[in-house]
Structure 1
Amino acid sequence: MSYAGPENLSRSTIFKVLMYFITCVAFIFILFINQVVVSSETFYHQQLKRDLVNEANLFTMMINKGNSAELYKTITQRRKNNTTFSYLVKPIKPVIDEVATYPATAFIFSRGKTTQLSQVVKLPRGMELVIKINPQFMQAYRQTVIPMLLSGIAVPVIIMLAGASLFAIVILKKLARVNQGMNRVILGEKGVKLPVSSNDDEFDVLTIHLNFLIEQVEKKEESLKALSVGMAHDLRTPIARMKLRLERLLTQPTAPYTDELEACHDDLEVLLSMFNGMLEIANLNSGKQHIDKEWVDLSQVCRDVVEFLLPISDEKQQQLIFREDQPYRLQGEPSLLFRAVYNLVENAIKYTPDHGIINVIVDHFGIVVTDNGMGVSDEDKGRIREPMFRADRSRTHQGFGLGLSLVEAVVIRHNGELVFSDNNPGLRSRLYLPLASELVSTVGD
């Protein structure tokens, strides 16, 4: 799973907060840039206005000196060299009913598609000089300022977005390492240690605390298991003695207490079986129980199980079917493998209604047991292999919840895996066992 994928970033609270912050900063920044541009454009227009007045004053001074030839020569040179202003010489239009006489220099605003600032200078012989700001010059100014404005806004926003994404990715990466480690703990892996960096930051402090918590939980779990196994071991002996005494009593005339004594004997038998099962599972998981491995034909093991349980399935009018898709042989302990398959098939028969169908299949990966019974919820699939756990809340079926725990212990000792999935309807139990290539390497070791 990628820790920085789009779906993770979109769900990240850190990334969302950063996006809100960047949006606010970008909005404030846009307002600031806009104010700067407006102020600079106003200042630039005022500067042009002063330049325009100075230009008109220059020509007024030349007119006052009476040097007409120099005046027109200067106008011609200005037209060639000065790109800021445009110069137009034209006759003065007569003004009807003119009351006031305006001075030589005046501001005239011509209104068209755009308002242009201009100055009019009266020339000799009924002519006038109109000085205007060159429209191409103003257009060039806008073409220069607008890209600067856009880049001044876009570049910082892009940099902030990239920085926010990088920051969120770094945080998500650290959190992903913690989550992956905790997932390993949830799946039952032992001895998990979350990596601690040398930065000694808040994530390292969190990791240290989680490592301590994991260590304490494992210690408590081991202590509880040791207590359970010790109790089972200690109680098995007195229960066995009580069972033997009841058996001796039952060989003698015990009327009218025969039924009660037999019931006590049966209950002790059940308790003794439960304690024996708990001890066997504990020994298998701890590796204390020695296993003599030999070549085992899984198809033959499954045939024996089906043949042994066929009378029980016939009582419920069920179809118990064996199928071999591919022969499978492995190094294992025949009796343990038989008990594992037996528990799976018996469990399927128990929780499948009358007239149901149970399939036992041997293929390239191991063994599959399917049924069309009541099935198991997704919540219980990860727990039904736990000792003493019962998925049927009503406890309508007899048992202690040790059968599937024994199956998993046997499969793990054979380097395999027990997996449950839906059969729609019913449950699908899969025993993944080592492939042929893995078997060869295991035997070689």
Structure 2
Amino acid sequence: MSYAGSENLSRSTIFKVLMYFITCVAFIFILFINQVVVSSETFYHQQLKRDLVNEANLFSMIVNKGDSAELYRTIAQRKQSNTTFSYIVQPEKRINKELLLYPTASLMFGPSKTAQLSQVVTLPLGMELVIKINPQFMQSYRETVIPMLLSGIAIPVIIMLAGASLFAVVILKKLARVNQGMNRVILGEKGVKLPVSTNDDEFDVLAMHLNFMIEQVEKKETSLKALSVGMAHDLRTPIARMKLRLERLLTQNTAPYTTELEACHDDLEVLLSMFNGMLEIANLNSGKQHIDKEWVDLSQVCRDVVEFLLPISDEKQQQLSFREDQPYRLQGEPSLLFRAVYNLVENSIKYTPEMGVIDVIVDHFGVVVIDNGMGVSNEDKKRIREPMFRADRSRTHQGFGLGLSLVEAVVIRHNGELVFSDNHPGLRSRLYLPLASEVSSKDQ
């Protein structure tokens, strides 16, 4: 499970809340920076206006002295040394000598209330001096301020985004460890312990509570299994005795109670079979039942199962067939493997309607039983291997819900796996036996 993927981040509520918060903070920050820049630019233009007026007053004083040589010498010096203003000597025009305003663009939002400024000083001999702000100076000012403005906005926003992503990833990583542990519990793994760090934070408290809950569930499950197995073991003996007594009674003249006694005998036999099945599954899962393994031809086992069940499928006019895509031999117990395949094929026959098709196939991975019957829902696929569980809620078919539990117990003892998938329509029941490649290498 990846905790840093873009998909998981986009689904994270923590990350979404952080993004909303950062967006609001960034918007407020941009408004604040804009206000600061506009105010500073207004102040700067007012300062330039005062400097421009002072510069025009200086030249007016020189003109009033009547020293033309000093006037033009000062203009030349100003052109060389002063980069803030530009000085243009031109013939006098009949224009308003007051302050001239030319609108300029603001750094941020729309037109500025400040303006490009100029002053006109009347010179002798019908000439005039126009003093205005140097456009290159204003361009240099903007080229200096705008990068500072953008970096002042972008860098904090990027840092906040990186911090939010890192924070969300750390939280998702801790939650992923919890989810992985709980997934292992859901899949039936025993002895799962969630990691607990030395930080003693809220995630460690959550992990400790979940560890305690897992431990208690495992204890109760073990106790319940022991109780059910014990009850099955204890009840099997008196039921067997009652069955034997009824059999002895049925050998005598029991009229007019023969029918009732036979029904009681059949019911006791059903109960005894159920208890025997529960005990066998428990012994297989616990390893108490010893298995004498030998080389088994899986194809031959499947042929025997199909041949044995063919009359039952013929009664429902079903097409039951066997196909060998690839030979498969393994070390196992033939009778247990026969029962496992038998239960799968019998289930397919039971839950496939008349005129249905059932295929039994042996390939490189093991054996698969395919039918076009009623199928199993995704929710029931997780539970049909549990003892006593019936996907048939209406109980229209006979059975105790132990067949697939026995199949899984047998497959696990043979280092395999039982997997169910949809056939659209119907069900595919697969016995994966992953040791096939090792078996083939041993044969060679």
- Do both share a fold (TM > 0.5)? yes
How far apart in 1 are the matches of 2:248 and 2:333?
Answer: 36
Instruction: Write the letter of the residue equivalent to 2:60.
Output: T
How far does residue 110 in structure 1 lie from its aligned partner after superposition?
A: 4.7
How far apart in 1 are the matches of 2:104 and 2:193?
Answer: 75
**1:236-287 deviation per Cα after TM superposition (whole angstroms, max 9, x unaligned):** 1111111111111111111111111110110000000000000000000000
**1:348-403 deviation per Cα after TM superposition (whole angstroms, max 9, x unaligned):** 11111112111111111101111111111111111111000000111001100000
Instruction: Write the letter of the residue equivalent to 1:345.
Output: V
Q: Return the TM-score normalized by structure 1.
A: 0.93
Instruction: Write the letter of the residue equivalent to 2:279.
Output: L
Stretch deviating more after TM superposition (292-301 or 400-409): 292-301
Q: 2:100 aligned with 1:109, yes or no?
A: yes
How far does residue 434 in structure 1 lie from its aligned partner after superposition?
A: 2.8
How far does residue 17 in structure 1 lie from its aligned partner after superposition?
A: 0.3
CA contact (8 A) 2:319 2:358 kept: yes
How far apart in 2 are the matches of 1:442 and 1:81?
Answer: 96
**1:130-166 deviation per Cα after TM superposition (whole angstroms, max 9, x unaligned):** 2111122112212221222122112211221121111
How far apart in 2 are the matches of 1:313 and 1:353?
Answer: 10
Check 1:300–1:244 CA distance in 2 against 1; reply closer, same or farther (3 A cut). same
How far does residue 71 in structure 1 lie from its aligned partner after superposition?
A: 1.5
Q: Which secondary structure state, in structure 2, belongs to the residue aligned with residue 4 of structure 1?
A: coil
Q: Which secondary structure state, in structure 2, belongs to the residue aligned with residue 288 of structure 1?
A: coil
Query: Aligned ranges for residues 190-209 of structure 1 at < 5 Å?
Result: 190-209=190-209
Percent identity of equivalent pairs: 88
How far apart in 2 are the matches of 1:319 and 1:295?
Answer: 30
Check 1:362–1:437 CA distance in 2 against 1; reply closer, same or farther (3 A cut). closer
How far does residue 212 in structure 1 lie from its aligned partner after superposition?
A: 1.0
**1:207-257 deviation per Cα after TM superposition (whole angstroms, max 9, x unaligned):** 111111111111111111011001101111111111111111111111111
Equivalence for 1:58: 58
Q: 2:365 aligned with 1:357, yes or no?
A: no
Equivalence for 2:111: none
How far apart in 2 are the matches of 1:378 and 1:308?
Answer: 31
Instruction: Write the letter of the residue equivalent to 1:32.
Output: F
Equivalence for 1:41: 41
Instruction: Write the letter of the residue equivalent to 1:225.
Output: K
How far does residue 293 in structure 1 lie from its aligned partner after superposition?
A: 0.7
Equivalence for 2:272: 272
Check 1:278–1:113 CA distance in 2 against 1; reply closer, same or farther (3 A cut). closer
How far apart in 1 are the matches of 2:167 and 2:385?
Answer: 42
Aligned residues: 434
Stretch deviating more after TM superposition (107-116 or 1-10): 107-116
How far apart in 2 are the matches of 1:310 and 1:387?
Answer: 27
How far apart in 2 are the matches of 1:307 and 1:220?
Answer: 43
Q: 2:146 aligned with 1:155, yes or no?
A: no
CA contact (8 A) 2:415 2:435 kept: no
Q: 2:276 aligned with 1:285, yes or no?
A: no
Q: 2:11 aligned with 1:24, yes or no?
A: no
Q: Which secondary structure state, in structure 2, belongs to the residue aligned with residue 232 of structure 1?
A: helix
Stretch deviating more after TM superposition (310-319 or 284-293): 310-319
Stretch deviating more after TM superposition (420-429 or 55-64): 55-64
How far apart in 2 are the matches of 1:184 and 1:417?
Answer: 16
How far does residue 22 in structure 1 lie from its aligned partner after superposition?
A: 0.5
Q: Which secondary structure state, in structure 2, belongs to the residue aligned with residue 188 of structure 1?
A: coil
How far does residue 61 in structure 1 lie from its aligned partner after superposition?
A: 3.0
How far apart in 2 are the matches of 1:322 and 1:426?
Answer: 17
Equivalence for 1:233: 233
How far apart in 1 are the matches of 2:337 and 2:219?
Answer: 31
CA contact (8 A) 1:305 1:341 kept: yes
CA contact (8 A) 2:365 2:436 kept: no
How far apart in 2 are the matches of 1:188 and 1:94?
Answer: 98
How far does residue 113 in structure 1 lie from its aligned partner after superposition?
A: 7.5
Root-mean-square deviation (CA), in Å? Answer: 1.9
Give the unaligned 5+ runs of structure 1: 96-101
CA contact (8 A) 1:107 1:117 kept: no
How far apart in 2 are the matches of 1:442 and 1:408?
Answer: 26
Check 1:408–1:129 CA distance in 2 against 1; reply closer, same or farther (3 A cut). same
Q: 2:343 aligned with 1:343, yes or no?
A: yes
Check 1:417–1:91 CA distance in 2 against 1; reply closer, same or farther (3 A cut). same
Equivalence for 2:302: 302
Q: Which secondary structure state, in structure 1, belongs to the residue aligned with residue 99 of structure 2?
A: strand
How far apart in 2 are the matches of 1:289 and 1:94?
Answer: 119
Q: Which secondary structure state, in structure 1, belongs to the residue aligned with residue 252 of structure 2?
A: coil
Query: Aligned ranges for residues 361-400 of structure 1 at < 5 Å?
Result: 361-400=361-400
Equivalence for 1:124: 124
Check 1:441–1:220 CA distance in 2 against 1; reply closer, same or farther (3 A cut). farther
How far does residue 442 in structure 1 lie from its aligned partner after superposition?
A: 10
How far apart in 2 are the matches of 1:82 and 1:234?
Answer: 111
Q: 2:60 aligned with 1:69, yes or no?
A: no
How far apart in 2 are the matches of 1:51 and 1:201?
Answer: 63
How far does residue 94 in structure 1 lie from its aligned partner after superposition?
A: 5.2
**1:319-365 deviation per Cα after TM superposition (whole angstroms, max 9, x unaligned):** 11111111111110111111111111111111111121111111111
How far apart in 1 are the matches of 2:435 and 2:284?
Answer: 22
Instruction: Write the letter of the residue equivalent to 1:53.
Output: V
Q: 2:179 aligned with 1:179, yes or no?
A: yes
Instruction: Write the letter of the residue equivalent to 2:198.
Output: S
Equivalence for 1:98: none
CA contact (8 A) 2:90 2:129 kept: yes
How far does residue 121 in structure 1 lie from its aligned partner after superposition?
A: 2.4
Q: Which secondary structure state, in structure 2, belongs to the residue aligned with residue 191 of structure 1?
A: coil
How far apart in 2 are the matches of 1:374 and 1:353?
Answer: 8
How far apart in 1 are the matches of 2:209 and 2:57?
Answer: 82
CA contact (8 A) 2:86 2:132 kept: yes
How far apart in 1 are the matches of 2:195 and 2:61?
Answer: 85
